[in-house]
Structure 1
Amino acid sequence: MHPRLKAVSFAVATLLAGAASAQSATHIAVTDAPDAQSATADAPASTALSRVTVQGARVRELPISSGALGARTDLETPFSTRQVTAEDLDARQVKSLGKIFANDASVMSLGDTFSFNAYSINVRGIPLDDYNGYKINGLPFFMTTVELPVESFESVQLLKGSSGFMYGFGAPGGIINFVTKKPTDKTLFSADLGYRSDGVFSEHIDAGGRVGDDRRFGYRLNLTHEQGDTYNGANVQRNSGSLGLDARLTSALTWTADAIYQSRRVKGGVQDFFLDDFNGDTLPKAPSGRKNLGAAYDNTFFNSNVFFVSSGLRWQIDPNWSAKVDVSRSQDRRRYSGQWMGLLNGAGDYTVYLNKAQGAATYEQAQALVEGEFTAAGLRHQVTLGLAWQGLNKQTVPKSLYTPIGQENLYAPITPLSWNGSYDDSLQYHNYHSAQKAVFASDTVQFSEQWSALLGLRYSDYDQTSFNTAGTVTNQYHKTPVTPTVALMFRARPDTLLYASYVESLEQGSTVGQTYVNKDEVLAPLKSRQYEIGAKHEGRDWGATAALFEIDRGAEYANAQNVYVSNGQIRLRGAELNGYWNLPAGLRLTGSAAWTAGKYRETDAELVGHRLEGIPKWQGSIGASQKIPGVEGLSANAELHYYARFDADSANKYKLPGYSTVNLGVSYETQIAAHPVTLRAGVDNVFNRNYWGFLQSGYTFVGAPRTLGVNAKIEL
């Protein structure tokens, strides 16, 4: 074990013992096996509400996806994980990625759902990368500017920290895996209607079942429509559909297929504020999230179309061995005309920049995996062997429009602005290609009922190439890294795990933004190392997880010449504590707390020792849900979220104030004509707190105001 972690190993056990005092994590395991059943259909989200939990017997823990590790339960995984089920997404009326993991203090949203940056989140102080940080059923998806249809997923899983062995290239913040809804053995049909501030209506249908001889063929269909005016003056129109199929070819062989399509158009709204032009010592107070800042220019929009399709075979060779093969292809196309704002001073003056562009990406992957277990020399081995290939191609325009069109003020009425220039974004060219070929293997050796060790190795052959409009190579990178994973696990009892792990990882470098001298340049990949010790307990009445980690990662930042560079190293250290506590009379307490500190090391002299921007030192959430006595099916819930203040830029010159938000909700389950009906209502940001959110170094956005959401669902 790393020397720094030896000194604190005892502290983890101490944290675990005390976690029952209302610190919380959700450990609801959901399988992604092809014939898994979903008892409750997913509902489209409105505004995020607290979770409503029906207490009862403990749910059997089922496997989660762990990439090259194969299928493992949370208590078999020597890493921090988090899962959110469709039932939880329904209960909190979650619609956006930024709210899926809102109850985990190590996760922070980096954008608003009605903006260009809807998709982006930060885990352990590190943004997930667009290229490899997001998966659908364990297969890659290029996530830039995309908000996936939450209604189509059975669960969303988060593997925190470095994941080089499990998934190959990826930022050390973690990996998010969206698990699609699967065909159900029982015929399922549900419909729901939703509304959220200030005039967005949604309709959703979820249907599933099995047909054919011996009910051999299964299907799961989800259709969603959403349209209306948002709280910040924009208008959203979204249509999405997903279809999951399977065929039980034999008792041991199953074919699966999944397809997702979504068209999402947001008219109006603004993107974010940047600090390059700021002259002052203190940032202005955040305006209301309800203010229509987008009224400055009446022709702004963001349109995206996404398509994902996959197919696979699952073969249960015998009780101890299984194999699977998967192939997938995804496409992402986007076009936008957006407003970016350059803050000028503490009085709230800012310059409006008009930005127009479009882009596209295509991602393909093929992977084969064999899992099994055997005993040799008195030791039990659980092994995984695999091969993988994936390729990413991107297209962009030769030059995006980025021009100032006038000035406004945060607190004054918005003055309409005009722009009389011309811009042709009709031509796109192939500007980027990357390919990964990988061989991986792992062995979990069981020494006794309590002790086991994991060793995993992944060999990757990685190519990355950038092109100009003439098709000439402008930048090329080739690497053949071996990324190891090592872990030691102690199963103190069947429901408790203590572990220590070490992981290495590589990730793609960033594409430089428009406000830097070297805009559009693709930086070289970054290397990271992670050390982690942790503990997990999953009991009937209470459960907890605790983890301490240290991550060394390559650094990217803007230097004194405003050139965005990849140079040096950053170090992050943190502690996480999560837990839940089921009390009598239907009361459930949940909570989550995280302490994270990051500093620049071995970088430009003016940055060495600076705190890493965008990381509150403390984050926390507390939740409670209560069945209302005397009214069958009625529950109320509440959440409190807290973020300490943090730095907005790498120079540590500007601070973003800390803030807290409160969410309240109520749920009522009943029956109409023998059909289950669920009614939900809730309010986010009850006290209408104005706050700045963090997007990336030197960029911030206006937080969401008080919002109302209601939903009615019937199962037929």
Structure 2
Amino acid sequence: MKTTPPLFNKQKLVLACCAALSATGHSTVFAQEETSEKELEVISVVGHKITEFEQQNDGGALGKRAIKDTPFSVDVISLEDMEIRQVNTLNSLFSREASVSVDGSAYSSFGDTIRVRGLPLDYTQSFKVNGMSINSFSGELPYEAFEQVTLIKGATGFMYGMAAPGGIVNYVTKRATSDALSANVGWRSDSVFSGHIDASTRFGSEDAYGLRVNLVKEDGDTYLDDGGIDRETASIALDAALTDNVLWTVDVIYSDRLVENSWNRFTVSMDSAEPLPDTVDGSRNLAVPGTYDGYTNMIAITGLEWNIDDNWQLKLDYDYSKNETSWIKSLNYLLNSDGDLSILTYEQYFDVDYDQIQGVLTGSFSTGAIEHNIVAGAAFQEASTYRNDGGEHGRIVTRNYATNNLYEQADVPTYVPTLQKDLALAWVDTQRSVFISDFIALNNEWELLIGIRSNEIEHEVSEYFSSSQDDYEDTAVSPTYALMYKPNASTTYYASYVESFEGQTSAVGEEYANANELLEPLESSQYELGVKTSGEGWSLSAAVFEI
């Protein structure tokens, strides 16, 4: 496998991984009968853990509620489930979720993201850690650092502010338990080695302090010819009970991920009358030698939780995250049914810094026989994007770099990078929002949700990028309404309405009359009818919706 020069000026993590090898044995059970003994074979069946509707879900402006009490479609993936299924990619994370499809793969040249109900999630607003925004350009996060992943399907404008209408994925970090240490090693196709250490301890008076550390190393050859992966991850989670009523948490996650010679994207440029070419071996790699995708992510979140009394709680959170991206990509243009290809290459650097602060007050009170559960809060978020000042808007594009064929490998020259990392501020996206919701329990069976969120977005372009984009400001109010009927403790019927307001915008392509025009954010509306019910060892949820 070709070795790619280091992407970033950094000192490599040194992971001293202890190996714990485990084997699953088969037991033999003997049944004694009156006249004979029969040896019975024990068959072990391993499956994923079903979503338990009693699990708590952090629904942003909805607050923390059990899944059965949330009037939207929610799927929760537990740590146990992830470990049983050996989750290591976004594809494997959502492999059992019928409404989710994955675009790309963990080793594709544009990373991967998901579509929920056919609608794409975006890299900049649709992924959260502990409810706070992050960038996820690679699509892949270090799953070893998380104990739960929640997917809220559909529009989420009220719950989380601006985001694509496909949904929100929220990753919940691991917390310290009792003193524990685990280590494992793995070997995956084609020849990818991985090692993981998970250490946890509690200390201080009455175990008031907790610390959990995860260290990961992954390295080897992927299933693609000449493809490679090199990943290092370190995460620290600290919690401290400062008083009986005040909890302080700190989470820091660092991940450095390099994919070499990743498979690339195709554009069909052949005549529409021509038949499509025959299929190609899935391990065939058509990437230009020397291409790579590199992502360095650092996420730091701290929170303070104050239980004012038995009914009211105040929570303050601050999040800083930084994403450094560097890549050399090759794109293939399919010219005809014989499989001839024209190759384009481009190299690019860009960074995104996120700052977010959020305060949420939750509480309950009664007005006569009616109980109110209030969630009110405010949030401020700023994302600064830095682009390289060389090339075309920070890229060096080489059209007609080489030719190739799907079935007969040509001698494609190795790409030699020339772009230097010299970043300048390109634009700043700012969001401000305030929100309030009330879950109104009319009686033991009927519950009503009313909520509203005001979102303000500001896109400010630097002088460096002012020739291709304009400043803009916009405001939207995102309401939500829901009615829930609970005939018994294990069943909920619901009808809900929610909107979304997309903060991510895009410029019109060069081939259109309004080329380079920056489009306004999109607004979406969603209606949903659903049911959630469960019994001993099973659960069922179903929904019909319109967006």
RMSD: 2.5
1:208-219 correspondence runs (5 A): 208-219=200-211
1:197 maps to: 189
1:500 aligns to what SS in structure 2? strand
* C-alpha separation in 2, matches of 1:205 and 1:479: 46
1:221 maps to: 213
Shift of 1:468: 4.6
Alignment of 1:465 with 2:456, yes or no, is no
1:567-578 correspondence runs (5 A): none
1:542 maps to: 538
2:298 maps to: 307
Unaligned runs of 5+ in 2: 1-19, 22-44
1:296-695 correspondence runs (5 A): 297-398=288-389, 399=392, 400-403=395-398, 404-417=400-413, 423-469=418-464, 474-512=469-507, 522-551=518-547
Contact in 1 for aligned 2:213/2:234 (Cα 8 Å): yes
TM-score (norm 2): 0.86
Identity over the aligned pairs, expressed in percent? 35
* C-alpha separation in 1, matches of 2:271 and 2:234: 44
Question: Structure 1 residues 520 and 314, CA, compared in 2 at 3 Å: closer, same or farther?
Answer: farther
Question: Structure 1 residues 364 and 285, CA, compared in 2 at 3 Å: closer, same or farther?
Answer: farther
1:83 aligns to what SS in structure 2? strand
Contact in 2 for aligned 1:279/1:344 (Cα 8 Å): no
Contact in 1 for aligned 2:438/2:449 (Cα 8 Å): yes
Give 2:388's aligned amino acid: V
Question: Structure 1 residues 545 and 137, CA, compared in 2 at 3 Å: closer, same or farther?
Answer: same
* C-alpha separation in 1, matches of 2:91 and 2:517: 28
* C-alpha separation in 1, matches of 2:331 and 2:511: 14
Alignment of 1:163 with 2:152, yes or no, is no
Specify the structure having the higher radius of gyration (Cα). 2
Shift of 1:493: 1.1
Shift of 1:426: 2.7
* C-alpha separation in 2, matches of 1:55 and 1:526: 37
* C-alpha separation in 1, matches of 2:444 and 2:76: 27
- Per-residue CA shift, 1:596-627, capped at 9, x if unaligned? xxxxxxxxxxxxxxxxxxxxxxxxxxxxxxxx
- Per-residue CA shift, 1:384-430, capped at 9, x if unaligned? 0101100111111242122221221212234323568x843432222
* C-alpha separation in 2, matches of 1:507 and 1:468: 25
Alignment of 1:92 with 2:88, yes or no, is no
Shift of 1:271: 2.1
* C-alpha separation in 2, matches of 1:298 and 1:483: 48
1:75 maps to: 68
Alignment of 1:258 with 2:254, yes or no, is no
* C-alpha separation in 1, matches of 2:435 and 2:216: 39
Shift of 1:513: 9.2
Contact in 1 for aligned 2:346/2:396 (Cα 8 Å): yes
Unaligned runs of 5+ in 1: 1-41, 44-50, 552-716
Contact in 1 for aligned 2:232/2:257 (Cα 8 Å): yes
- Per-residue CA shift, 1:26-61, capped at 9, x if unaligned? xxxxxxxxxxxxxxxx99xxxxxxx934899x9782
- Per-residue CA shift, 1:190-234, capped at 9, x if unaligned? 000111111100000001120122221101110000000111021
Give 1:104's aligned amino acid: E
Question: Structure 1 residues 101 and 90, CA, compared in 2 at 3 Å: closer, same or farther?
Answer: same
Shift of 1:276: 4.7
2:469 aligns to what SS in structure 1? strand
* C-alpha separation in 2, matches of 1:516 and 1:157: 40
Shift of 1:156: 0.9
Aligned length: 499
Contact in 2 for aligned 1:280/1:346 (Cα 8 Å): no
* C-alpha separation in 1, matches of 2:301 and 2:220: 32
Shift of 1:470: 6.6
Give 2:259's aligned amino acid: V
Q: Which has the higher contact order (CA 8 A, sep 6+)?
A: 1
* C-alpha separation in 2, matches of 1:533 and 1:59: 20
1:618 maps to: none
**541-550 or 197-206, larger mean C-alpha shift:** 541-550
Shift of 1:488: 0.6
- Per-residue CA shift, 1:493-534, capped at 9, x if unaligned? 111110000111100244459886788875321110001100
1:110 aligns to what SS in structure 2? strand
Contact in 1 for aligned 2:73/2:153 (Cα 8 Å): yes
Give 2:46's aligned amino acid: V
Shift of 1:471: 6.2
2:236 maps to: 243
- Per-residue CA shift, 1:306-356, capped at 9, x if unaligned? 000010111112222111100010000011112111112222222111111
1:288-303 correspondence runs (5 A): 288-294=281-287, 297-303=288-294
* C-alpha separation in 1, matches of 2:431 and 2:503: 11
* C-alpha separation in 2, matches of 1:414 and 1:540: 60
2:103 to 106, 110, 115: 110
* C-alpha separation in 2, matches of 1:390 and 1:245: 24
Question: Structure 1 residues 319 and 414, CA, compared in 2 at 3 Å: closer, same or farther?
Answer: farther
Contact in 2 for aligned 1:357/1:425 (Cα 8 Å): no
Give 1:456's aligned amino acid: G
Contact in 2 for aligned 1:163/1:172 (Cα 8 Å): yes
2:126 maps to: 133
Give 2:217's aligned amino acid: H
1:122 aligns to what SS in structure 2? strand
* C-alpha separation in 2, matches of 1:100 and 1:176: 11
* C-alpha separation in 2, matches of 1:194 and 1:438: 44
Give 2:441's aligned amino acid: Q
2:88 aligns to what SS in structure 1? coil
